[in-house]
Amino acid sequence: MNGGRLRRALATPTGIAAALVIVAMVVLAIIGPLVWGNQAAAINVPDALKGPSGAHLFGTDQIGRDIFARTMAATRLSLELALLSTLIAVGIGIPIGITQAVLGPRLRRLVAGVISAAVAFPGLLLALFVNTIIGIGATGAVLGIGIAMIPGFARLAQTLSASIAGLDYVAAARILGISRIRILFFHVLPNIAEPLTLTGTMSVGWSLLGISALSFLGLGVRPPSYDWGALLGSGLQYVYENPLASLGPGALIVLAGLAFNLAGETLARVQGGTPPIARPLVGAAGLEAGAIGQPDPDLVLEVDDLTVRFPAAAGDLTPVRGLTFTVRSGERIGIVGESGSGKSMTVLALSQLLPYPGRASWKSLRYLGRDLRSVPAPELRRLLGTSMALVFQDPASSLNPALRVGRQLAEVVQVHAGLRRRAAMELAVARLRDVHIARPELRAQQYPHEFSGGMRQRAMIATGLMGQPRLVIADEPTTALDVTVQRQILLLLRQVNEDSGAAVVMISHDVSVVTMLCQRVLVMYAGRIVEDIGTERLLAGPAHPYTRALLASVPDMSTDRGRPLATIAGRPPALDALPAGCAFAPRCPLADERCRAADPPLEPLDGDHLVACWHPQPAGRPTVPASA
Amino acid sequence: MAEATTQIRRHHTWLIFLARRIGRLIVSLAVVLSLSFLLIQFIPGDPVRLALGPTAPASMVAQQRAALGLTKPLVVQYLDYWHDVLSGHLGTSIVSGQPVEQIIATDLPETAELVGVALVFTMILSVSIGMFAGALTARGRRPRLTLFFTSVTSILNTIPEYLLGVGLVFVFAVTLKLLPVAGDAGWQSLVLPALAIAIGPTAGLARIVRVQTDVVLSQEYMRVARAKRLPTRLIYLRHALPNLLTAALTIGGLLLGTLVASSVVVENVFARPGLGTAIVQAITQHDYPVIQGILLVLGAAVLVLNLLVDLLLSALDPRSTLRES
Amino acid sequence: MSRAEGVNILEIRGLVVRFGTGRKSLVAVDGIDLDVPRGGILGLVGESGSGKSTVARAVVGLARTAGGQILLNGTDLTAGAAERKASRRTVQMIFQDPYASLNPRMRVSAIIAEALRMRGTGTDRIPGLLEEVGLDAATASRYPRELSGGQRQRVAIARALAVEPELIIADEITSSLDVSVQAQVLNLLRDIQRRSSLSVLFIAHNVAVVRYLSDAVAVMHMGRIVEAAPAGDFFAAPQHPYSRTLLDAVPQMADVAGAAGASAWTPVGEPSDPHEPPAGCRFHPRCPVGPAVAEDRDICRTLDPGADAATRPHRAACHFAGMLPAPPPAAISVTPGQER
């Protein structure tokens, strides 16, 4: 196992606790019989059935033996048996599951079917079956529980190796002609070892519980041997007189079981996942919404210095840093940026949907002339629910798979406008028709999985049309769609804009798509707007070097086939490693000392064309040659 | 025209799905039956001698062997077994001489009652607690609550049912003298055993439901529901719950087997009449026909119940009627 | 095995690939013919569900064929395991997802060494390969998780080149990358292809990228090839209505907002269900000049135009190929002199 993970697990409180208990148990198992062996066997009938005392911590049993001593001494056998049966399950189950990967399809299906059926069968019954055959006793119990756990491991190993076998790097190995056996050992096995080890650790706990159950019933370990389960079982007979006689060994069963389970879970949790989030950001509620000046009635959206912050252990991440822009009524603007530019976070912040623990702050954020923080909650809900339409990227996951499509549209007006169900559904059908979905009455009764991708996206747009939309925010609405469908959606957005007068804000990584729909483009880089420019001027020649490079590097139908594509050297900066000064400077051919030292503000270059650059390029100048 | 064919095709697919599942069930039942038949055959040594004890006269042993049909060829025995089971005869107890099906007929309802109560308790409590906890702790909120919840459920899930049973006995019956401890006296004697069976799985399932709630709440369609600014109640009950149920029911279905197994153990703790006490007694006494019969019935019950859960799940999930599992 | 020095390194004839059985079956590839010119790039373009990735998988042996032939240097790969085995080093593939195409537990050097071992060459070629794909030598000791998407794709390319193949299949290799990185990878592929005269089957849904790279183009729709022609001819005058809708839908920078409305070449209706493809021409329910729109085109509903496609310009699978109105001149262009 990856040493790093083990170390990380040991750094957590649960990891430490589990490790300590396990170590203590192992020590106890080794020294138990040595230290307490004699005491455990010492019969002392006059002392029989005494309760807990200084001499006998757990009291004595029917023939006067010290129960505490017996419990301590039983550690070895209990753990040994648990370990043994785990080994049986792991040693037989995992190979069965793995070999699935090398079997032919028919045999694989047969084995898979057998495993599935066996997994559904309760393990204890299987254990009883084996126990009956082998005979009552420790051997029977170990084999019983061990065999009962085989299907579970086989199934796990099978599922894991199947999922690995479907990955591209295994396909690449097969194309290279590497033998199936080699693939199994070098590609599949190393990548499933960790989850298997985790489950193995936890199943020591399960084995312990299972064998103890059998011993408790008298079907497992038999006198003169005894494990915790047997002690618990015999202690049950006089539970009224001395409950500790059974609760004592019981407590150790629980402790050991917990320790192994916890160990497994902690290891699973520290799998290089999300960095633990420190304390939530204190006092991050936006800077006081002092309305600076009067709201402009023609503006749908006024954003001034919008910032989004996510607290993280190593320092806060700010995917959005001081955005300022406006959206006029009926305008169509596009926000363009690559991954990491902060465009999606901007959308979430604007629509008040930031995921926890993100916090947005701003100098001014006005929607339809009203500061969002000053609108009381119920009114805000209705306002946003009926006038702000949102269209997200993946139509496959935007619609709730468990509900009919019509219902999902109708509820908007049922909740916000108080419409009765029938009226709401009629409206929903009408809107589906408006977005050119054929046979809308039928479609409204269907579930999302019966819609194609393009239809789902149109249904999402229709949802936004249920109210009186003033603003449509579409986050990569066509990225997941085929190009012919993409055009339809863009035309639909255009139509919605013209018919209803709603403004449209479209976010995309694809500049050409944005220019098809939008009149104005905001270019984002590393959380800032670097250029705010009208589309015509954009096509004539933008001012910011990044925008120019972006335009140059995207092949279109008139790209010169004789020359290499223009590229932008390097990569976008990581959010937690932003350079001082202009974030694009490391990649910009025009960067100089000033650029590296100071971050240029977004300022008007010419009328309503804004640029954040110390060296903006005049329009019409040939594209700065970027490195190839 | 197209809708009609789609409808027909949908029904057709569902029927095929049903037929396949029932086919699989029959095969599994056949396997269980065969295994239960083979139980006696696998015993090393003489099963009858083991059952009757070393002091029984040889003539009695021989008589029992003949009565059990052990002298006939294996294939004949197998076919006889099939014939007997299908006509409702599950053999005769070596120890008591009672027909096994009679023993089962008296004990099965008791066990079924216990498992049923435990199941209902588990499902209702775990889904509601899990969902509530999930809503409160989604996406890393309230980490201390998450820790508390996870710890408590872990511990409860790890405590074996027999230990819980003993503990419950001690607290409620001995100390507080509120509820009966053993035997079968109306609904009161159902409470403690059902609790003993149900508490562990409830905790385990509640954990899973909590995690699943977190997963569901992070889905895009939940974001869309929030974007519609629907009231919170609607968001959870109409949008989140149906998607949660599928996962909860799937796990719940798997739990069925565990609950049945737990009932076997817990009945012994509370000395409740049922298949659990019967089978343990039978194993101790080497009464093989009884063991065979009970394993067969319990195994078949679990398989049939699993099928019902599968069918319920596919009826609930709108997508699965078009899917073959 | 003697190498036939044919014009085409890869010739596919009548390939059929089926998934599932009986009621659930889906014919992903339904009898296609395809030629990849030796030393050239064939761009295979199509939307999702067209079957183009399945073609790739069939060529490299990852998908079982139900009919047809795959002739690589004259040898039919579908004939048997021996033929398939012998072709191992001749054709290699690069995959779409840079995060799934490298074993996370193997260092870059191990990944490339494994490929070199199949060739029989030693690990001394590793630095050279890394340089060839524009990575510096230190990358060899890194794990994939330490590399960016673009760097991983380069490693995948290096792995493919390690066995010195003659044909490379690139399956949507830039679709998962950021725009600025995409250009880097495309340039790299172009350079390598020119330097070593590699043949490339370039699969993509992005028509502009295909136009930039390809010498020849084939268009796929619902498991069939609907048009195949040299790139210059294709982009100057596409013959199949589906090709026209594809080209029309490509967003173009010159298409200033406000100018374009619904065009004559937008597909009609909704996408068809691949499990129940339409009879006759598979595109007919959506064809903007087909029976859904025009009165006299019933033949499209009943007769499959693929049967005699070879007789038509660009082997177009359309009864009315050659009779489409010429596209507006400003829309699509190929700089004269760049054709091959």
Residue A148: CB atoms within 10 A of its CB come to 28
What residues of chain A lie within 8 A of the CB of B170, using their CB? 239-240, 243, 247
Q: Is B303 on the interface with A (CB under 8 A)?
A: yes
Closest by alpha carbon to B215, among B113, B317, B303, B130? Answer: B130
Average pLDDT value for residue range C270-281: 84
Query: In a 3-state reduction of DSSP, which class is residue A228?
Result: helix
Q: What does the longest C-alpha to C-alpha distance in chain B come to?
A: 84
Q: Which of residues 493-522 of A touch B (CB under 8 A)?
A: none
CA distance A124 to A134: 15
CA distance B315 to chain C (A): 20
What residues of chain A lie within 8 A of the CB of B227, using their CB? 351, 353, 384, 388, 390
What residues of chain C lie within 8 A of the CB of B13, using their CB? 23
Contact B295 A125 (CB under 8 A): yes
Q: Which range in A64-73, A113-122, A299-308, B90-99 is most confidently predicted, on average pLDDT?
A: A299-308
Q: Is C109 a domain residue?
A: yes
Which one has a higher pLDDT value, A563 or B50? A563
Average pLDDT value for residue range A118-123: 82
Average pLDDT value for residue range C41-68: 91
In this structure, what are the phi and psi dihedrals at residue A122, rounded to the nearest 5 degrees? -65, 135
- In this predicted structure, what is the pLDDT of residue A162? 85
Model pTM score: 0.85
Q: Is C281 a domain residue?
A: no
CA distance A78 to A215: 10
The pLDDT mean for chain C works out to 86
- In this predicted structure, what is the pLDDT of residue A135? 82
pLDDT band at C306 (very low <50, low <70, confident <90, very high): confident
Contact indicator for A365, A306 with CB cutoff of 8 Å: yes
CA distance C24 to chain B (A): 9
B241 CB-contact burial (10 Å; exposed 0-12 / middle 13-18 / buried 19+): middle
Share of chain C above pLDDT 70, in %: 90
Residue A620: CB atoms within 10 A of its CB come to 7
Q: Is C136 a domain residue?
A: yes
Residues B51-73: pLDDT tens digits? 777 888 888 888 888 877 788 88
Per-residue HEC secondary structure of A174-201 comes to: HHHCCCHHHHHHHHHHHHHHHHHHHHHH
CA distance C44 to chain A (A): 15
Starting at the edge strand found earlier in the chain, the sheet holding A528-534 runs A388-391, A471-475, A503-508, A332-336, A520-525, A528-534, A609-611, A603-606
CA distance A129 to B39: 7
Average pLDDT value for residue range A470-486: 89
Q: Is C236 a domain residue?
A: no
C82 CB-contact burial (10 Å; exposed 0-12 / middle 13-18 / buried 19+): exposed
- pLDDT of B213 strictly over 60: yes
What residues of chain B lie within 8 A of the CB of A129, using their CB? 35, 39, 295
Q: Is A461 on the interface with B (CB under 8 A)?
A: no
Which residue's entry shows tokens 């989004």?
A: A308
Question: Which residue segment(s) compose the domain that C127 sits in?
Answer: 94-164
Respond yes or no on whether the N-terminal peptide bond of residue A357 is cis (omega within 30° of 0): yes
CA distance A589 to A617: 12
Handedness of CA C318, C323, C328, C332 (dihedral sign): positive
Which one has a higher pLDDT value, A438 or B11? A438
Q: Is C140 a domain residue?
A: yes
Average pLDDT value for residue range A361-375: 88
CA distance A446 to A444: 6
Nearest CA in chain C to B323: C24
Contact A449 B299 (CB under 8 A): no
Average pLDDT value for residue range B262-275: 88
Of A219, A246, A258, the CB nearest to B154: A258
What residues of chain A lie within 8 A of the CB of C257, using their CB? 332, 515-519, 535
What residues of chain B lie within 8 A of the CB of C24, using their CB? 324
- In this predicted structure, what is the pLDDT of residue C296? 80
What residues of chain A lie within 8 A of the CB of B3, using their CB? 442
- pLDDT of C263 strictly over 80: no
CA distance A258 to chain B (A): 6
- In this predicted structure, what is the pLDDT of residue B185? 62
pLDDT band at A285 (very low <50, low <70, confident <90, very high): very low
Average pLDDT value for residue range C184-211: 93
Residue A74: CB atoms within 10 A of its CB come to 28
B129: Cα separation from own chain's centroid: 22
Nearest CA in chain B to C23: B13
CA distance A405 to A447: 6
- Beta bridge partner(s), residue C228: C218
Residues B280-311: pLDDT tens digits? 889 888 888 899 899 899 888 888 888 888 88
Q: Which domains does chain A have, with CATH numbers?
A: 3-49+62-272 (1.10.3720.10)
Vertex B250 angle, CA B244 and B252, to 5°: 95
Residues C9-38: pLDDT tens digits? 999 999 999 987 766 678 889 999 999 999
Checking phi first, is residue A501 left (phi over 0); if not, alpha (psi -120 to 50) or beta?
Answer: left
Of A132, A236, A385, the CB nearest to B166: A236
- In this predicted structure, what is the pLDDT of residue C337? 32
- In this predicted structure, what is the pLDDT of residue C251? 80
Q: Is C116 a domain residue?
A: yes
Q: How many residue pairs bridge chain A and chain B with CB atoms within 8 Å of each other?
A: 192
CA distance B185 to chain A (A): 21
> Euclidean distance between the first and final Cα of chain C, in Å?
30
How would you classify the pairing of strands C91-94 and C75-76? Answer: unpaired
CA distance A596 to A579: 8
Contact indicator for A461, A492 with CB cutoff of 8 Å: yes
Closest by alpha carbon to A529, among A609, A472, A459? Answer: A609
Residues A226-254: pLDDT tens digits? 899 998 888 887 777 787 888 889 899 99
Amino acid identity at A428:
A
What residues of chain C lie within 8 A of the CB of A273, using their CB? none
The pLDDT mean for chain B works out to 84
pLDDT band at A286 (very low <50, low <70, confident <90, very high): very low
Q: Is C189 a domain residue?
A: no
Residues A596-616: pLDDT tens digits? 998 899 889 888 899 999 988
Per-residue HEC secondary structure of chain C comes to: CCCCCCCEEEEEEEEEEEECCHHHCEEEEEEEEEEEECCCEEEEEECCCCCHHHHHHHHHCCCCCCEEEEEECCEECCCCHHHHHHCCCCEEEECCCCCCCCCCCCCHHHHHHHHHHHHCCCHHHHHHHHHHCCCCHHHHHCCHHHCCHHHHHHHHHHHHHHCCCCEEEEECCCCCCCHHHHHHHHHHHHHHHHHHCCEEEEEECCHHHHHHHCCEEEEEECCEEEEEEEHHHHHHCCCCHHHHHHHHHCCCCCCCCCCCCCCCCCCCCCCCCCCCCCCCCCCCCCCCCCCCCCCCCCHHHHCCCCCCHHHCHHHCCCCCCCCCCCCCCCCCCCCCCCCC
Which one has a higher pLDDT value, B240 or A39? B240
Contact indicator for B284, B122 with CB cutoff of 8 Å: no
CA distance B10 to A176: 43
Residues A47-106: pLDDT tens digits? 777 777 777 888 888 788 888 888 888 999 999 999 999 999 999 999 998 887 777 778
Average pLDDT value for residue range C126-138: 92
Contact indicator for C244, C251 with CB cutoff of 8 Å: no
CA distance B42 to chain A (A): 6
CA distance A301 to C295: 49
- In this predicted structure, what is the pLDDT of residue A628? 37
Of C104, C258, C332, the CB nearest to A191: C104
Token pair, residue A51, equals: 């309760």
Handedness of CA B31, B32, B37, B43 (dihedral sign): positive
Token pair, residue C37, equals: 């010119």
Amino acid identity at A560:
D
Which one has a higher pLDDT value, C295 or A72? A72
**Choice among A232-236, B226-230, C327-331 with the minimum mean pLDDT:** C327-331
pLDDT band at C165 (very low <50, low <70, confident <90, very high): very high
pLDDT band at B9 (very low <50, low <70, confident <90, very high): low
Average pLDDT value for residue range A441-456: 91
The pLDDT mean for chain A works out to 85
Q: Looking at this predicted complex, what is its ipTM?
A: 0.85
- In this predicted structure, what is the pLDDT of residue C262? 62
C1: Cα separation from own chain's centroid: 27
pLDDT band at A562 (very low <50, low <70, confident <90, very high): confident
- In this predicted structure, what is the pLDDT of residue B7? 64
Per-residue HEC secondary structure of chain B comes to: CHHHHHHHHHHHHHHHHHHHHHHHHHHHHHHHHHHHHHHHHHCCCCHHHHHHCCCCCHHHHHHHHHHCCCCCCHHHHHHHHHHHHHCCCCCECCCCCCEHHHHHHHHHHHHHHHHHHHHHHHHHHHHHHHHHHHHHHHHHCCHHHHHHHHHHHHHHHHCCHHHHHHHHHHHHHHHCCCCCCCCCCCCHHHHHHHHHHHHHHHHHHHHHHHHHHHHHHCCHHHHHHHHCCCCHHHHHHHHHHHHHHHHHHHHHHHHHHHHHHHHHHHHHHHCCCCHHHHHHHHHHCCCHHHHHHHHHHHHHHHHHHHHHHHHHHHHHCCCHHHCCC
- In this predicted structure, what is the pLDDT of residue B181? 64
User: CA torsion A560→C248→A554→A169, rounded to 10°?
Assistant: -110
CA distance C134 to C184: 10
Number of domains in chain C: 1
- In this predicted structure, what is the pLDDT of residue A620? 64
Contact indicator for C265, C248 with CB cutoff of 8 Å: yes
CA distance A496 to A468: 11
Contact A550 C261 (CB under 8 A): no
- In this predicted structure, what is the pLDDT of residue C42? 96
- In this predicted structure, what is the pLDDT of residue C230? 94
- In this predicted structure, what is the pLDDT of residue C258? 43
- pLDDT of A283 strictly over 60: no
Residues A187-227: pLDDT tens digits? 988 888 888 888 898 899 989 999 999 998 888 888 888 89
Q: Which of residues 214-273 of A touch B (CB under 8 A)?
A: 216-219, 232, 236, 239-240, 243, 246-247, 250, 253-254, 257-258, 261-262, 265
Q: Is C125 a domain residue?
A: yes
- In this predicted structure, what is the pLDDT of residue C232? 92
What residues of chain B lie within 8 A of the CB of A440, using their CB? none
Q: Which of residues 10-49 of C touch B (CB under 8 A)?
A: 23-24
Residue B228: CB atoms within 10 A of its CB come to 27
pLDDT band at A557 (very low <50, low <70, confident <90, very high): confident
In this structure, what are the phi and psi dihedrals at residue A321, rounded to the nearest 5 degrees? -125, 95
- pLDDT of C101 strictly over 90: yes
CA distance C8 to chain A (A): 21
Q: Which range in A199-213, B91-105, C155-169 is most confidently predicted, on average pLDDT?
A: C155-169
Neighbours of chain A (3+ CB pairs under 8 A): B, C
**Which of C23, C272, C273 is the best mutation test for B, with the most CBs of B within 10 A?**
C23
- pLDDT of A282 strictly over 60: no
Share of chain A above pLDDT 70, in %: 94
